[in-house]
Structure 1
């Protein structure tokens, strides 16, 4: 997307018209940290959702997926807690989700199935439902446009920083906003991650159209990132569109409006993905992998994901070692058929570009130049397959000593 037809604004998840948010404390996390958030739409919003591919799904994920299956379902609010995943909690976990939804719905005079629920945190621990329901009145009373700051911090677990972004664009003479907040730092693997992402827009868009867009975008963004190769039980990406921008309804048949909105929505979600991997647990480097000239789009995706998900590549980047053999080995182990003699490999960033492999032949390189390049916080790995026309990008981070420490002490 060379020409952006939108510009970045402040406001995060409440940048879109009609959305409010807030955060509060229930005691789920130590040191009285914010641990519960609420997002509300002034008018009912249509939803689109993508959730974890893990066979073990948390109670909130089961609830949300059930809601979306209902025809013409509209959503009023989203309740999110951190510190407890409400996963592997059996029938009681599902009952707790229903209790949460019922409690929130009473304040908005809507059906409990118009309330999305999300949780993140430790797996297998019963949800302290009384503490959560006891905090809901505070959340409702404190909802505001400015509350997005507390909300974005309340959903964090091992994250070091909140992840928010917002843009605006013009469609059919109307200004449309898209905003988001997310959490994610560890258990991040291709095919979603331990992450929650909440996107709001005031665009008027057809629900089927919005769901199709999100499914396509998730495949090329959230499903193309990796911190540690572990898939979670709670992953959720949710988009809510309330139509308050007043534009003509966006449909697939309106190519101009569809394309403009798609590009803006893609940018928001790609920005969230980059924020997540840059804040990977213990991460010291941001890694971006570009695969070009593959035989098929599927091959390009598989190859890019293999590189970004390789622990040996991650540790080499952490050690600032231009060990390009690990990159070549990772793509060779994928099962994708290609000719090694056509592959070229380059490391690059703001310090320049370093050609390491040229059509299958090793290229002598200056170790000092390599060291200077790999000392930078961002490293781009370019893999040119030299065969076809397809390309893909994946995002990730290095694997450091601190990653082991963080996860060894996660419950303690």
Structure 2
């Protein structure tokens, strides 16, 4: 069957599922009202961008937006007379764009991968070049870009074994998508090899490293973290469990009960990944008998408080800076973990669960360097937290190791910029 037939079948299925997509938007909007707005953008009704040539970058959500910042800053510096458009899929990603880049870039949601929606989006935006972060491969979007002779780079590209298997099952459709990419900037050799195995032309694939290693901390973050720590209690042992998911909080609270047997004044900073879960996690903490205070209450942390619930957006770095040790969520359940580089950059020892497939390479490097510890069970988690809280020298050693790993892996943005320059001047 020709690839055009596969793409047509895929598109028809997508159209059939649009009612369910709308129902899902409405359902998510009940918990996060931002999902109820800007639906036109999701169907390709992007703002018209006129007057300047456009470079388009796509980053799915908060993590990808954060990873894109070194590249975005390089683009702003090298192409000041172009309009930079940064698209996302989620409201939290949209908020991160506004917070980090503000009026320096244009922003809208990337449309659903429908033939008419993607064509409408590209017609309104008319980019000279598309840069898609990580592994957002959409058949109709790439087809429409090729029709309009818009080169597309897959930057910071990663492909886990699980994802590679899924793409392999799509057969000719995957090979067609990969053939339409002008360049694949892979995070590591294993990623590059998987793309080539799936059909990417080897001459278009290069290992450039991971943009996430080029994170830039706000200049006053350390001082702000020290100030927040004083508010929480300068002498209290502080442990943060960040970006937690459904099914993890119960395990973390069980470990925290054991930690408090060793450190009765310890404070747990608990930060759920998704805002729509803030209330449920707060209720869980209260049901288990913990004295819990919410960041949204905007009051000083009482000495009796046992759990501080980080129910705010954009403050995770600050919470890391104020804590002694950081556990990264999404790793006790099979979500695949979250970016461990932010606490590592702040010289905080990192604790990771067994499920790390989203950040396998980064996590392995931190674990090998002694900057992180991997745990399997609640008992392991308790022991790791107690060990780090009780040994300041171990925390310092882990913190320095994390910074070394970061310093040794920087340079991805400059390598990607070289390819962007080639494509834009060609």
Q: Under TM normalisation by the shorter chain, which class is it? A: under 0.3
Greater RCO structure (CA 8 Å; 6+ sep): 1
The TM-score, its normalising length taken from structure 1, stands at 0.25
**Structure with more of its chain in helix, by fraction:** 2
